[in-house]
């Protein structure tokens, strides 16, 4: 009985983590797909979208592609609390996109950072 209660209590936490993981994956992949970039943009918190419109995002991504090359794939996904690290492969480099989620499961920030190694906790 206690095991059942514990599982029921932990299931919502696991579901939220899975949703954020998948949302972040969709966000990253959608950024580099012209048919899905608007969906990626919809994942952003209003604190970002009020200052950074879709056209500015597209211009920024053009600069990213100039520097890193074309996006190929996500190699691995790791997380710490509400921050997820998507290890991305581009033509010219491999780098993490660090995505932080707020309490409403909206993306509150995303940045390219040097790859952070996670030895014992991989989500992918």
Average pLDDT over residues 19-43: 95
The pLDDT tens digits of the residues spanning 68-85 come to: 999 999 999 999 988 999
DSSP letters along 55-111, please?
Answer: HHHHHHHHHHHHHH-SEEEEEEEEEETTEEEEEEEESS-EEEEEEEE-TTS-EEEEE
The pLDDT tens digits of the residues spanning 44-75 come to: 999 999 999 999 999 999 999 999 999 999 99
Model pTM? 0.80
Q: Given this model, what pLDDT does residue 120 score?
A: 54
Q: Given this model, what pLDDT does residue 10 score?
A: 44
Task: Write down the residue that tokens 């014992």 correspond to.
Answer: 120
The pLDDT tens digits of the residues spanning 79-102 come to: 998 899 999 999 999 999 999 999
| Separation CA 84–CA 102 (nearest Å) | 12
The pLDDT tens digits of the residues spanning 106-122 come to: 999 999 999 998 875 55
CB within 8 Å of 95: residues ≥ 6 apart: 68, 87, 88, 112, 113, 114, 115
């Amino acid at each position: 009985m206690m095991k059942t209660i514990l599982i029921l209590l932990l299931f919502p936490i696991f579901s939220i983590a899975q949703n954020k993981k998948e949302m972040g994956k969709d966000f990253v992949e959608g950024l580099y797909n012209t048919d899905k970039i608007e969906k990626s943009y919809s994942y952003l918190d209003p604190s970002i979208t009020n200052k950074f419109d879709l056209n500015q995002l597209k211009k920024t991504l053009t600069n990213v592609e100039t520097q890193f090359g074309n996006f190929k794939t996500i190699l691995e996904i790791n997380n710490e609390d509400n921050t997820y690290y998507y290890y991305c492969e581009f033509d010219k480099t491999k780098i993490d996109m660090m995505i932080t989620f707020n309490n409403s499961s909206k993306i509150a920030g995303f940045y390219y950072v040097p790859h952070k190694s996670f030895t014992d906790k991989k989500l992918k």
